[in-house]
Amino acid sequence: MSEPIFAGLKVIDCASFIAGPAAATILADHGAEVIKIEPPGAGDAYRSLFTRPGAPNPGVDYAWLAVSRNKRGLALDLKAPEGRAILERLVSQADIFVTNFPLPVRERLRTRYADFAAKYPRLIYASLTAYGEAGPEGDKTGFDTTAYWARSGLMDEVRADHSALPARSVPGMGDHPTASALFGGIAAALYRRERTGQGGEVRANLMNAGMWANTFLIQAALCGATIPPRPKREDAPNALGNMYQAGDGRWFIIAVISEDRQWAPLATAMGLTHLIADPPLRHHPGPPRQRPRPDGHPGRRLRHRPPGRMAHPAGRRRHHLRPHRHHLRNRRRPPGPRHRRPAPHRRHALPHRGLPLHHRRGCENPRAPRAGSGRAQQCDPAGCRILGKRDRSVQGGKRV
């Protein structure tokens, strides 16, 4: 196996919760050596998120495994002179420094880019904020549910229709895309440093990532368009771009763009060959009375057959028809070879989707690092090696 692309890079993860640390996780998945810095005592507050009311609690800190795998931990009091001295030593040997501290906190702790740039010109400083660093909201804190989800307009635009209540976000659904944006900035800065020898500062923020996700409608509004209210499912303008419920209760979504080419194979798969030439089921730019209704022929047909019984005529399987899967819900299934729950020590952390990663196992029972008698971590200046208790990972069958 070839060496990971970021092998040899040293990263200081001086961030908390999800978006900032997850960017460092992607670097770790590609071979970088990442040192996670946490305050002594309870550590990163994200460690206890899975114990809060409403969160799934299997007895394993799955949230921490997902964003803190393949990292080494260090408890460090950045307010104390001794802690500051250790941080300086680490940063002097690091390639990348990641933080999401609020801007006033960075100023007090002297962890701003300006505090490092002159001394460490090759350092890449990765900054994560809620609303950006300029303007009246630069000092404000926020979570993805407020900055990414609500402020970007996504909370309103994803409603089932204009009469429905605004939709709630899933935990972390805005943090992880924002982490990918920050990682992209870090990768670009590494490329520039390879060419010029100079480091620099890269920035990402939650609201910007949310606006990028909502770009289709935001750009339309900037161009002067009036965004129409979202119609109810029954009043959607095209029956071939809508949701339907199958006979077993699961929901399907159909997305047919090239109707002239895709409608006949789709109708055949659904057993609706007699409707292939039916004009009302084709997209029509005319008035609403000429448009097909989702509760018409396809809807009635799908309600009487389970999704697994859809045919694939002539071996063609590229129909854009996908079931809405409830695979994250607790569904009672008899234990079997395909559905047996893994033992706790075999549960894997989630890989970063979309990137070819070498998957490594996470920590079985992650605990916060804490300073104390016989358990304080130390730094080896020669190699930034953390001594003492730390989060563990498994690579090639050997614990490291």
- Catalytic positions, written as ranges: 175
Within 13 Å of residue 14, how many CA atoms lie on the same side as its CB?
29
Report which residue type is found at 178.
T
Q: At 91, phi and psi to the nearest 5?
A: -65, -35
For residue 275, give the DSSP letter.
G
Query: What is the rounded CA–CA span in Å between residue 301 and residue 311?
Result: 14
Q: What share of the chain is helix, strand, coil (3-state, %, to 5)?
A: 35, 15, 50
DSSP code per residue over 383-395: TTEEESS----EE
Between strands 385-387 and 378-380, the pairing is antiparallel
Between strands 10-14 and 96-99, the pairing is parallel
Torsion over CA of 147, 151, 155 and 158, rounded to 10 degrees? -110
Q: At 95, phi and psi to the nearest 5?
A: -95, -30
Taken as a whole, the chain contains a residue count of: 400
Handedness of CA 168, 140, 37, 398 (dihedral sign): positive
